[in-house]
Structure 1
């Protein structure tokens, strides 16, 4: 078995040397123009952007702070400049169905020109139509029609009076109509005269009156016909006059927009509507001849706004260069899909097509829209509506309440516009996996996954890129220049964040934060205006100090003996395990005392935490592995008659993870063998059934946590930590621990097997199994095997003693 080699200071921290780069400060460098790593993500984005199909939208996958937004913004800004600028979109009045405004697509920049043309057209009409109706020619023609109407009407009533006179009937005109009065001897017949007449005379008067009444009815019918004909002639005259004023303007506009059939059709409807509503352009008919309104009248409606002839420039790309790129940071339904605004008038809500407002999808049409998944899922109806818009390649601007049946009022239903854009969503891997597993539409519409890594290889190329990135941040945020030592410290901190000496973290948000804080401490220090190693280290220390109050409280409890952790001496069946507490913004290591008691029985290894329901599934699995290891190694030639109780002392919350399984196995073997464990050492690592030590997470925090406890209780020079050998490359310990390792005050031992671990923890050889199948006498394995054999024999003897004696039935007879 290979002997465990204690780690040197150079192995527990990898310093950065930028001597190969020819610069003194970041002022000597050029800003970063490349992406740091992320080759897979960048190539995926390039592929997604290049695929001009509606279903090839992109989902950016990665943790917060790895540069997803920065990367996509940089790449889109480059690509967008090479793409054509999209067209304009306008909404106009629908004369056939006012509740469904028409969408009109125009070349880039023509939308606002179209609006200006219609505004000028309307202004001219407001002047020309009233002027045409005030002309002498129109008045003469109008008067001619009225005179002809009056002449025909006079002839008609003269003929009526003549016929009435022949029938000895007098006709009188009143405001309520025409009255017929019978005559007798040239005078109207009174009631007394009528009553005095005989029946023959009475019937003769009645017949004459009925005949005249019929003639009056026919005359009134003819008069109404003449009046209607006159009104039609006047209306036709007004149409001819108005058409004269409108036709030239419409023809000029039609010639200007002859390449757009939809607009030509719109102009035809405009002309027809104007001719049917000429009164809208004429002075108020409620005005008196003198031009003054009546003193008292009913309240009038809003002044005529001529909204029907206005143009709503929905999307204006006249100032856009290339394809639009929209980052929607607040993707509510109206912000994303657009809205139909309403205006309060006389206590009621009013809207029309000029109040249709675009959302981010409309603004990004022909380009790209970028959304944050978590932000989007906060708002109802957004995700389903977005999928429909992408799938149908059309954008509907709808009232949300009306769309989902929450409102029964009549509202606008604008014509959908064609949608041609690339949707890019940024989120974490958990969201991507959930959507991919449970949303069929997601798999169909987001075919490109751009996976962002949180780390990159630490090599000369990435060191150079990292240095240029720091230069870019200094220029962007106005930070002091960093000298070479400051840069080296930032890169070392980046390796610490990555959890690997051979990697660098690309969680650029965290790196930027430490750059700004180091700049603050550099400015507080005064000096030569450069940020150096000491300032970066100060920033890291202060960042920890702001968050590690809980850690200090726990260390204080350990130092006072409230939490029991020994850092000296040797104890059988007791060991220091290492765990990590994650507080969200800060994680730290804490040693925990693990104890074990063994005795004869058949329960096997009992996990106290599991029995008390304070153990997670992974920790339960780790404890069950111990039984497999013990059985395979020591119970091949005898039954396992063991009961062992293992527990974390003073634990008051759920324990999970398998990183303590090596410690639990060693403390179990210590209890069985009777060999004490060094309390100045702590161990972390998981173990498999073959006895191999497996790597764990949080190795830096665990080692530093035990060092801090040893420091609080007194450094002896014999203390240290045992870790899996695979975790050596993950060590980036803080400066104080590195110095302690360098001067032999603290020791770190990497182990590969449980035998190496127990030898390190006890100072006694494990003892391999010899050719005869027996363990080397005096070794820990020999002692464990001996104890288990004693348990087995004792249990067998105890079983015989407790077995009931057989009776001899023949003697009883």
Structure 2
């Protein structure tokens, strides 16, 4: 069935809808996002399920409102949840290589840090005062005096023992000298000692050795007394310092009852100060008064707050736009010391996972995958429910500077990845962990149904954008034109695009033109100007191609009638713009058995889909004409002046028309272009970018001059996709350009040749003087030619014998 389209078929007019624009301007949109019910239901279910792998993948194309919807639901959900506590790292006094974590209540991290700082200051002050007090010195002097008296008594015994045996004792830093004396107590000189007989000398030496041993035991006992004295002094210091510290710790310990890790850390601070009391006091005194930050010796008592949720109400929402390993998991910073990089627990820095712990983390998937180690580390953290801070150089096996191994922090977070559908399907197929960790998919559409309620919702959102961005008011006609453009963006008259990023850009540009023209309102001409200007900025290549066609460099016939030649329409997609471009398709026929030759395929310029479309043509020929005979021919098909790869099957209908024209020896009107794919039964199937294809051919015709005999044949299923420019609609209304919608190949043949396609009659033939009849006769003639040649060759071969 052939349908010649009227202007009402080519464009949807919003003015036919009865809409109270004034009321919509006052009304706030009732829903956070329109046209995304499927995605919103997925978010309603998924957000808040932080365990069991119910993380969320938000799938959609740019401008579909993904981030806006996610933020809306997160804000509503997060504010009702409990605010997570703070996490800190403190020194591990047993092994500083493994810093310890502490969990504190919400806002307690900074408070505890200041409390510990104040504690150390007060301990410094109190210990200095305690050890400078008269009571301490009196008790210390008493212990020392007791030791001196015992030591003095021991020394008396040593000297008395020596005198009784005619010896004197002299103590040097390295040994004890026991020197023999005469009866008057005067030490014997070497000369006097040598004058003694051998027996006397031996007796003296034996007595000297015996006395040395005895004196050594006495000195050992004296050293035990000295050690006991030192222990007494240490116990005195410990008792005083312990009492002073306990007095200061009592309030903190009472405050943090129930926080075992905190109490243990406070106890370890006390023990470390007591164990290193001399250094602690020395450092305190060297600073000329108590101070916390002037000496690195006090650094080990600091508290490093990794997450501070003091000003947070509800669960945290963190958006990490640069998800590198360090930005996600934190890092260990280093300081240069005498040419060497060193670190300590105060240089541990938290990452996005620490800030989002207990809440939600939003990450753009593409950036995550392109960051080294980030994806695998994130999966490991989600599987193990813990955050491990590690140096990326260690994963590469590179020897780095001095490092630490901080204790892992428990992780409770819901990760929300935002990415395209393509990334989702690739990960789902190739990454076995992905489907276990991201069980919720929220898929965003790019269009919604063209209905009155949706039009009202679209307008409401647009008015809201206008107010939020402080743009000029949008009048009714401008809003209607914007909705019409949104329908064209969707490539479907029954849909409206909800790519509000692009809609917002058009509004901003229209606002600029309104302000430039000193208007106080955005009118329809400003919307038109913005749409046309955006197109104009990108269509330089299209204009160059059209110029080449106009000058005859690209040979496109628009007024002649040619056999085996037709104008197809291809689409060129440059990213920011796509446009239709006419292509001359020609077919040559000869006798042979090769069949259909696609020159593009032979030259390796044909994509797989185009090749499939060409093979379908062969199926059509066999189905239509090969029921009672073989279809033996040689047909070559080519896109003229095409030097790049061709793909897609939207030209298959045009190719078939050219092929049948050549077989039937019927000329085709070159002013009519054809787009559409076919199946083996001869039915036309819809194609993409139908508006751009029609407009592309129209512009080429318009620059040559519209004759009224030009137009485009499209598949009937593409009727719903038509949202053509007004100049095309106007040309159709004036009869200068035509657009036909057809269902089958037969319908199109009648338009482009002016002959009836023909029907199959009983016996297998076709109705007289029809296209199919002429094609069928030509195939029979080609078969006969082949049979005659084969018979002649056989006869010559027989005669040669």
Q: Which residue of 2 aligns with 1:276?
A: 275
Question: Which residue of structure 1 lines up, in the alignment, with residue 63 of structure 2?
Answer: 65
1:284, 1:69 → 2: CA distance?
54
Per the normalisation by structure 2, the TM-score is 0.95
- Pairwise CA distance, 1:58: 0.7
Name the CA shift for 1:469/1:286 in 2 (closer, same or farther; >3 Å): closer
Counterpart of 1:440 in 2: which secondary structure? coil
Give yes or no for the alignment of 1:731 onto 2:722. Answer: yes
Unaligned runs of 5+ in 2: none
Deviation at 1:281, TM superposition (A): 3.6
Change (3 A) 1:286 1:702: closer
The answer for the alignment partner of 1:397 in structure 2 is 389
Contact in 1 for aligned 2:706/2:736 (Cα 8 Å): yes
Q: Are the equivalent residues in 1 in contact too, given 2:85–2:309 (CA < 8 A)?
A: yes
Q: Does 1:81 align with 2:73?
A: no
Deviations 1:71-123 (A, max 9, x none): 10111111111222222223233233322222222332333332333222222
CA shift for structure 1 position 404: 5.6
CA apart distance, 1:742: 1.5
Partner of 2:408: 416
Q: Give 1:171 deviation, angstroms.
A: 2.4
Match of 1:217 in 2: 216
List aligned pairs for 1:307-456, cutoff 5 A.
307-402=299-394, 405-407=397-399, 411-456=403-448
Q: Distance in 1 between matches of 2:453 and 2:17?
A: 13
| Contact 1:54 1:420 (C-alpha < 8 Å) held by counterparts | no
* 1:154 is aligned to 2:152: yes
* 1:784 is the counterpart of 2:782: no
CA distance in 2, matches of 1:160, 1:133: 36
Superposed displacement of residue 26, structure 1: 7.3
Partner of 1:17, secondary structure, is helix
Q: Which secondary structure state, in structure 2, belongs to the residue aligned with residue 450 of structure 1?
A: strand
Whether contact under 8 Å (1:60, 1:450) holds in the other structure is yes
1:237 equivalent in structure 2: 236
Looking at structure 2, the residues matched to 505 and 238 of structure 1 have their Cα atoms a distance apart, in angstroms, of 80
Q: From the superposition, tell whether residues 612 and 285 of structure 1 become closer, same or farther in structure 2 (CA, over 3 Å).
A: closer
May I ask how many residue pairs the two structures share in their alignment? 797
Q: Deviations over 1:562-590 (max 9, x none)?
A: 11101101011110010001111111110
> 1:257-296 deviations in whole A, cap 9, x for unaligned?
22323323333323222222222442459989xx99xxxx
Post-superposition shift, 1:778? 0.9
Query: Aligned-pair distance for 1:403?
Result: 5.3
Matches of 1:60 and 1:122 in 2, distance apart? 50
- The answer to which of 336-345 and 361-370 deviates more is 336-345
Residue 430 of structure 1 deviates from its aligned partner by 1.1
Change (3 A) 1:650 1:154: same
Do the aligned residues in 1 keep the contact of 2:316 with 2:355 (CA within 8 Å)?
Answer: yes
Equivalent residue in structure 1 for 2:634, among 636, 643, 656: 643
Alpha-carbon distance in structure 1 between the residues aligned to 2:54 and 2:22: 46
Q: Deviations over 1:215-261 (max 9, x none)?
A: 34334323322221111110001011111211122222222222323
The Cα RMSD (Å) is 2.4
Gaps of at least 5 residues in structure 1 are 293-300
SS of the equivalent of 1:282 reads helix
Cα deviation for residue 24 of structure 1 reads: 4.7
Alignment correspondent of 2:265: 266
Please point out which of 499, 509, 515 is paired with 2:507. Answer: 515
**CA offset at residue 66 of structure 1?**
0.6
Aligned-pair distance for 1:806? 8.3
Greater shift in the superposed pair: 195-204 or 580-589? 195-204
What CA deviation, in whole Å up to 9, does each residue of 1:514-545 have, x standing for no partner?
11111111111222x11111111111111111
1:731 to 1:123, Cα distance in 2 relative to 1, 3 A: same
* 2:543 corresponding residue in structure 1: 552
Indicate yes or no: 2:574 matched with 1:583: yes
Counterpart CA distance in 2 for 1:234 and 1:585 is 85
Partner SS state of residue 590, structure 1: strand
Shift of 1:193: 4.0
How far the C-alpha of 1:638 sits from its partner, in A, is 1.3
The aligned counterpart of 1:744 is 735
Between 219-228 and 72-81, the greater mean CA deviation after superposition? 219-228
CA distance in structure 2 between the partners assigned to 1:253 and 1:216 by the alignment: 54
Moved more, 204-213 or 517-526: 204-213
- Per the alignment, do residues 424 and 749 of structure 1 end up closer, same or farther by CA in structure 2, a change over 3 Å counting? same
Say which of 520, 523, 527 aligns to 1:536: 527
Q: 1:622 aligns with which of 613, 623, 639?
A: 613
**In the TM superposition, what is the alpha-carbon distance from 1:32 to its structure 2 partner?**
6.4
8 Å Cα contact 1:92-1:101 kept in structure 2: yes
CA distance in structure 2 between the partners assigned to 1:460 and 1:628 by the alignment: 45
Aligned-partner SS, 2:253: helix
Contact 1:18–1:484, Cα closer than 8 Å, also in 2: no
CA distance 1:488–1:429, change in 2 (3 Å): same
CA distance in 1, matches of 2:241, 2:296: 18
Match of 2:135 in 1: 137
For the residue of structure 2 that corresponds to 1:667, the secondary structure is helix
1:286–1:28: structure 2 CA closer, same or farther, 3 Å change rule? closer
Structure 2 counterparts to residues 602-613 of structure 1, below 5 A: 602-613=593-604
CA contact (8 A) 2:47 2:73 kept: no
Q: Greater CA deviation, 512-521 or 154-163?
A: 154-163
Q: Determine helix, strand or coil for the equivalent of 2:83.
A: coil
How many Å apart are 1:19 and its aligned residue? Answer: 5.5
CA distance in 1, matches of 2:795, 2:672: 51
Aligned match of 1:5: 3
| 1:701 Cα deviation after fit | 1.0
Match of 1:715 among 699, 706, 725: 706
Do residues 252 (structure 1) and 251 (structure 2) align? yes
Once structures 1 and 2 are overlaid, which stretch shifts more, 152-161 or 24-33? 24-33
State yes or no: 1:206 paired with 2:202: no
* Offset at residue 18 of structure 1 (A): 7.3
Instruction: Work out whether residues 372 and 426 of structure 1, in 8 Å CA contact, stay in contact via their aligned partners in 2.
Output: yes
8 Å CA contact retained: 2:587, 2:638: yes
- Which residue in the other structure is 1:127 paired with? 125
1:657-700 deviation line (CA, Å, top 9, x unaligned): 10110011010001111100101111001111101111111111
1: distance between equivalents of 2:30 and 2:559?
Answer: 52
Match of residue 464, structure 2, among 460, 463, 472: 472
Distance of 2:659 and 2:760 partners within structure 1: 19
Residue 170 of structure 1 and its aligned partner are, at CA, apart by 2.8
User: Are the equivalent residues in 2 in contact too, given 1:519–1:531 (CA < 8 A)?
Assistant: yes
CA positional deviation for 1:340: 2.4
Residues 549 and 700 of structure 2 are in contact (CA less than 8 Å); yes or no, is this contact kept in structure 1?
yes
Query: CA distance change for structure 1 residues 710 and 807 in 2, over 3 Å: closer, same or farther?
Result: closer
| Worse-matched range after superposition: 17-26 or 439-448 | 17-26
Q: Which residue of 2 aligns with 1:116?
A: 114
Structure 2: distance between partners of 1:285 and 1:98: 22
2:389 counterpart SS class? coil
> Could you tell me which residue of structure 1 aligns to residue 584 of structure 2?
593
Distance 1:73 1:162 in 2: 94
Q: 2:764 aligns with which of 751, 773, 784?
A: 773
Deviation at 1:451, TM superposition (A): 1.0
Q: Which residue of 1 aligns with 2:485?
A: 493
Distance in 1 of aligned mates of 2:36 and 2:310: 36
C-alpha deviations, 1:305-343, integer Å up to 9, x for none? 423333223222221111111111111111111222223
| Paired residues of 1:25 and 1:484 also in contact (CA < 8 A) | no
Q: Kindly indicate whether the alpha-carbon contact (under 8 Å) linking 2:627 and 2:764 is maintained by their aligned counterparts in 1.
A: no
Within the candidate set 75, 88, 91, 2:89 is matched to 91
In structure 2, the residue corresponding to 1:306 is in which secondary structure? helix
